[in-house]
Amino acid sequence: MHRSKPKQASLTNISQALSVALGVRDSHTLGHCERVVTLCRELAIHLDFSERELGILAVAAQFHDIGKIGIPDNVLHKPSRFEPAEWECMKQHSVIGERIIRALACDHADEIALSVRHHHEHFDGSGYPDALSGTQIPIYSRMISLTDSYDAIAETRSYHKARKHNEIMDLLHSENGIKHDPDLLHAFNAVIEKSAMRTPDIG
Ligand SMILES: [Fe+2]
How far does residue 51's CA lie from ligand 1's centre (Å)? 25
How far does residue 19's CA lie from ligand 1's centre (Å)? 15
Over range 66-71, report the average pLDDT.
Answer: 93
How far does residue 23's CA lie from ligand 1's centre (Å)? 15
Over range 137-164, report the average pLDDT.
Answer: 85
Structural domain for 143, as ranges = 26-193
Confidence of residue 8 (pLDDT cuts 50, 70, 90): low
Confidence of residue 22 (pLDDT cuts 50, 70, 90): confident
Is residue 159's pLDDT more than 60? Answer: no
Asked, for residue 9, whether it belongs to a domain, the answer is no
What residues does the ion ligand 1 have nearby, CB within 5 Å?
65
Asked, for residue 16, whether it belongs to a domain, the answer is no
Asked, for residue 203, whether it belongs to a domain, the answer is no
How many domains does the structure of the chain reveal? 1
How far does residue 8's CA lie from ligand 1's centre (Å)? 30
How far does residue 193's CA lie from ligand 1's centre (Å)? 25
Q: How far apart are CA 57 and CA 141, in angstroms?
A: 9
Rg of the chain (C-alpha set): 18
61, 147 contact by CB (below 8 A): yes
Asked, for residue 134, whether it belongs to a domain, the answer is yes
Asked, for residue 6, whether it belongs to a domain, the answer is no
Asked, for residue 14, whether it belongs to a domain, the answer is no
How far does residue 11's CA lie from ligand 1's centre (Å)? 22
Over range 108-137, report the average pLDDT.
Answer: 97
Asked, for residue 99, whether it belongs to a domain, the answer is yes
Asked, for residue 128, whether it belongs to a domain, the answer is yes
CATH assignment at residue 78 = 1.10.3210.10
Distance of CA 187 to CAs 135, 151, 153, 166, 190, Å? 16, 16, 19, 16, 6
